[in-house]
Amino acid sequence: MKTNLYLDLLKSTSNTKIALLADVKTSIIIDKRGKFKFFFAPFYDLKAVEMFILNLDNTSFYTVIPFISKYGKVEDPHIILSRQILLTGYSNPKTVYDFIGEQLGIALNDFGLSTPKIHNNHYLIFKYKKIVLEI
């Protein structure tokens, strides 16, 4: 029974609406041990988001922090676009792309930046790691 529940949860996570790590019920134990990895895309692009999701393990959950950076260097200043989101290999790339676009729009507006410069001259970076949810 738990296997079916786990698979259903994998398939529904960030599929029609983005799931935030902070929204996971407190009754679910989350093992966040492990080192973060980075995925770099030369600009905000649906194909890049699709490529990232296609490379995720279909049996695992991931926590992802999306941010933008001028030069694609983690140690340089960057703008974090949201709190940690939950993704799986089943997550809908378009849902993720749209969410990031909305968050990017808010950041651009808040910081008074122009859209064309951000889209063409900045890196989209996902800081991510595999996590374990114990249901």
What is the per-residue DSSP string for 50-80? Answer: HHHHHTS-TT-EEEEEEEEESSS-TTS-EEE
Give the torsion sign (CA, 66, 68, 72, 74): negative
Token code pair at residue 73: 């260097």
- Prediction pTM value: 0.89
pLDDT at 1: 43
DSSP single-letter state for residue 23: G
Tens digit of pLDDT for each residue in 9-51? Answer: 889 999 999 999 888 877 777 888 999 999 999 888 899 999 9
| pLDDT band per the 50, 70, 90 thresholds, residue 120 | low
State the Cα torsion 64-65-67-73 to the nearest 10°: -80
Contact between 11 and 89 under an 8 Å Cβ cutoff? The reply is: no
Helices 46-54 & 93-111 angle (0-180, nearest 10): 130
